[in-house]
Structure 1
């Protein structure tokens, strides 16, 4: 076990009251150990996610194709493990087209901010509540792309 892990293990057993008794230097070291461990765990998480994607990515793509979906939730069975894969929708808006639409709205005498954020990003919650005629006008500027998959592993239930 590394020095950082030993230090964090010892700190984990302390109460908040006990942590307040640490000297400033001890607190600094605790924070440094925690930041190093967090960075290491984040790097390990990225590597493990890459390994999962390498191992199961084709299975995920096949399951999505069979379900006729690009985003959403799919399940894959791998031996004794059931893998739940969630692929979120990441929407990107065409900034040039949104700028042109903003100019038309302003020219029509309405406040652009009522429809668009200044950065030319339209939140999905707002987009989903627009009337169809307005959505049709903006649809060409909207590009929805699958986000990174999220993997959750759990034991399979006995059948």
Structure 2
């Protein structure tokens, strides 16, 4: 028990030491308060001290283990440290020359890993170049994750495809789901059935059913569509006949950010 108490006493001492060092750094170099990594460290420490959680490792938990009055301890921490650790509004560094607008300052560009730790208000106030850089990072990350996922799925398929096919044959089916165990892992292999209907034949069947005096919609679903390119190419009298059946709705807005090169800016 004494060893556990010593452990949590060391945790609290380390947190106070880290907080003291951050404040000293901030006093010596005020520009650090605008640095993303420095701000993340400040947020992390503030959240740890101010958290209401009682989970193991939380400040409340440490106080309880060390038999400290949480309210009094937090009051002293706030007085000595936290009141001096209120983050100022983040501002991007101004660029001295206009041409530098086309140059990505990698030191000041936030990374995707920092994105979720920054308030949305601060993110919205980033420079257009920084937002464009983040958008490019996100696009590359999505593409990389997609390629990695496809590669991994290919590896998994190579390992289990034959086993899954064999189990389907044993079950007398060409499609569907089979399950089997590999070590401590249950493998669920799905092969969905995706029927494709010949549209010309369905159209002929639709007419035959209707001519026979039956309702073809009892047998099939029909979805009428008009390609927008054809609609725009029609004469006005034809378009007017269809306009009553046409409703235009806005899609999801998208914004693509790209930094102009120096020649475009100079122009």
TM range (shorter): 0.5 to 0.7
Determine the C-alpha separation between the residues in 2 that align with 1:111 and 1:32.
54
Q: Which runs of 4+ in 1 moved over 3 A?
A: 105-115
- My pick for the range that moved more, 25-34 or 12-21, is 12-21
Q: Structure 1 unaligned segments of length 5 or more: list them.
A: 120-159
Distance change in 2, residues 1:60/1:15 (3 Å): farther
Instruction: Please state if 1:75 is matched with 2:75.
Output: no
| Residue equivalent to 1:152 | none
| Residue of structure 2 aligned with 1:24, choices 99, 106, 128 | 128
For residues 4-19 of structure 1, what are the structure 2 equivalents within 5 Å? Answer: 7-19=111-123
TM-fit CA distance, 1:118: 4.2
1:65 correspondence with 2:65: no
Aligned length, in residue pairs: 115
Which of residues 166, 173, 198 in structure 2 aligns to 1:94? 198
> Is 1:48–2:167 an aligned residue pair?
no
Query: With structure 1 as the length reference, what TM-score do the two structures score?
Result: 0.60
| Superposed counterparts of 1:125-144, under 5 Å | none
Give the alignment's TM-score, normalised by structure 2. Answer: 0.38
Return the index of the structure with the highest Cα Rg: 2
SS in structure 1 at match of 2:190: strand
Alpha-carbon shift at residue 103 of structure 1 (Å) = 2.4
Structure 2 CA distance for partners of 1:97 and 1:15, relative to 1, 3 Å: same
User: In the TM superposition, what whole-angstrom CA distance separates every residue of 1:97-134 from its partner, at most 9, and x where no partner exists?
Assistant: 21211222454567767742348xxxxxxxxxxxxxxx
User: Which is richer in helix?
Assistant: 2
Provide Cα deviations, 1:76-116, integer angstroms capped at 9, x if missing partner: 22223221222222121122321211222454567767742
> When you count strand as a share of all residues, which structure comes out higher?
1
Matches of 1:39 and 1:11 in 2, distance apart?
18
**1:89 partner SS:** coil
Q: Please tell me the root mean square deviation across aligned C-alpha atoms, in Å.
A: 2.7
Distance 1:80 1:24, change over 3 A: same
